[in-house]
């Protein structure tokens, strides 16, 4: 490698290297030294991790609530669609029945079944204007 390397010596004991020469740690610096503290992985402090955990839990809870609301809305939509289909079928059935009752041939048949006959004579009545009890016209 042509790039200069960082010294792996403990932070407090690094020496400046000569110009043009890579930083190479002195072997004697490592003998008898406990370096477990120097290479311990860094952890987030508790005061930073607690808010992150709380924000993560709140976001998860919000997603759960949103998902439940979507499912509830889908069930309501399904029920409304089924009700609409049922009402359309009822409307079609009633429309057919209404048209059946309005058909002249069907009306004649129903009248005959009920005992109605062709009239022998037709009386025309005189149409009078409505009056009050006192005889005055309105």
Count how many domains the chain has.
1
**Residue 105 domain-assigned (yes or no):** yes
The answer to the question of residue 14 being in a domain is no
Residue with the bigger pLDDT between 55 and 137: it is 55
With respect to residue 79, please indicate whether it lies within any of the assigned structural domains.
yes
SS (H, E, C) the chain: CCCCCCCCCCHHHCCCCCCCCCCCCCHHHCCCCCCCCCCCCCCCCHHHHHHHHHHHHHHHHHHHHHHHHHHHHHHHHHHHHHHHHHHHHHHHHHHHHHHHHHCHHHHHHHHHHHCCCCCCCCCCCCCCCCECCCCCEC
Residue 90 lies in a domain: yes
Res 88 pLDDT > 70: yes
Is there a domain that residue 5 lies in?
no
Residue ranges making up the domain that contains 94: 42-109
The answer to whether residue 1 scores a pLDDT higher than 50 is no
> Helix 46-102 and helix 104-114: axis angle, to 10°?
70
pTM: 0.43
* pLDDT tens sequence across 96-111: 999 988 888 888 888 8
User: What average pLDDT does range 2-7 have in this prediction?
Assistant: 52
What is the per-residue pLDDT across 16-52, written as a single tens digit (0 to 9) for each?
555 555 566 666 666 667 766 666 666 667 777 888 8
Please check whether residue 27 lies inside any domain of the structure.
no
Does residue 124 lie in a domain region? no
What per-residue confidence (pLDDT) applies to 62? 97
Percent share of the chain, pLDDT over 70: 63
Q: Is residue 31 part of a domain?
A: no
The pLDDT tens digits for 56-68 are 999 999 999 999 9
* 131 backbone dihedrals φ, ψ, rounded to 5°: -125, 165
CA distances from 2 to 5, 9, 20, 21, 22 (A): 9, 20, 11, 11, 9
């Amino acid at each position: 490698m042509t790039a200069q390397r960082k010294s792996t010596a403990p932070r407090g004991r690094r020496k400046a290297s000569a110009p043009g020469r890579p930083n190479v740690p002195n072997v004697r610096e490592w003998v008898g030294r406990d370096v477990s503290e120097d290479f311990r992985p860094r952890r987030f402090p508790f005061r930073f991790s607690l808010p992150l955990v709380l924000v993560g839990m709140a976001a998860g809870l919000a997603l759960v609530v949103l998902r439940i609301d979507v499912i509830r809305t889908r069930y309501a939509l399904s029920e409304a669609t089924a009700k609409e289909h049922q009402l359309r079928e009822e409307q079609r059935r009633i429309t057919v029945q209404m048209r059946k009752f309005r058909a002249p041939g069907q009306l004649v048949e129903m009248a005959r079944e009920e005992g109605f006959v062709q009239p022998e004579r037709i009386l025309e009545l005189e149409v009078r204007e409505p009056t009050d009890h006192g005889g005055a016209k309105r």
